[in-house]
Chains A and B, each alone.
Chain A
Amino acid sequence: MATLHTVNKSPFQNQTLISCLGHAKAGDSVLLIEDGVYGAMSGNAMSEVVAGMGANVKLFVLGADMKARGIDAARMAGGFTSVDYEGFVDMAASCDRVQNWL
């Protein structure tokens, strides 16, 4: 019984990503979309916190939104997997419910 969580804001803009990771259960998936993709970057002030809090969930980032923002795949943090919209759809279908953190 897993949840797909989505977060669409940068962890520097507000606490939404932190709150999401603080509530997600082990085995859930967390997908960063829109401005949320900045939370998937390595080497910034939030990278370690995100990696730590996200240790028990599967971390994903929407590639289209990374590309739009000029984030090179090489700057994506190690724990993340990039997906496209088809992948987003697949995850929404395979999880038991979707929770969109707004």
Chain B
Amino acid sequence: MKFGIVVNEGPYTHQASDSAYNFVKAALAKGHEVARVFFYHDGVNVGTRLSVPPQDDRQIQEQWSALAAEHGLDLVICIAAAQRRGLLDENEMQRQGKDAHNIAEGFRISGLGQLIEMGIQADRTITFGD
């Protein structure tokens, strides 16, 4: 089975990104494929490289980056939602004339089309949100 995952909420404030992470880990462990994890609405905030969560708690962004590296996951941050909320990669930083970029390792910024494409290509689409 090929799963497409949507994460609609940011780290810590909602459990959505944790539930999605646990689902993805379980799916991969069972030998399923995860076509893409698409971060929308406040979910784009999962991909910041500047978070410094308390050490006695799970490190949400790091966990995703590590899982992506281990399994070749495609973590996509929606560009429109990212622009609204101040998540920029180097390209966007230059394009928008900003002085910093803040996308974490393993995440990439792309368009909403990636969400639709994921829905078309995956066997099942699962959304975690509010």
Contacts and interface: CB of A to CB of B under 8 A. Distances in A.
B130 A93 contact: no
Given A64-B22, A97-B124, A98-B124, A89 B27 contact: yes
Interface residues of B, number: 22
A63 to B, nearest CB: 12
Given A93-B1, A100-B127, A33 B19 contact: yes
Contacts of A93: 1, 32, 123-124
B26 interface: yes
A102 B19 contact: no
A34 to B, nearest CB: 5
Contacts of B29: 86
Contact of A100 (B1, B123, B126): B126
B45 interface: no
A69 to B, nearest CB: 11
Contacts of A86: 26, 29-30
A44 B125 CA distance: 33
A98 B2 CA distance: 13
Interface string B82-108: 000000000000000000000000000
Interface of B: 1, 3, 8, 15-16, 19, 22-23, 25-27, 29-30, 32, 123-130
Interface of A: 6, 8, 33-35, 64, 84-86, 88-90, 92-93, 95, 97-98, 100, 102
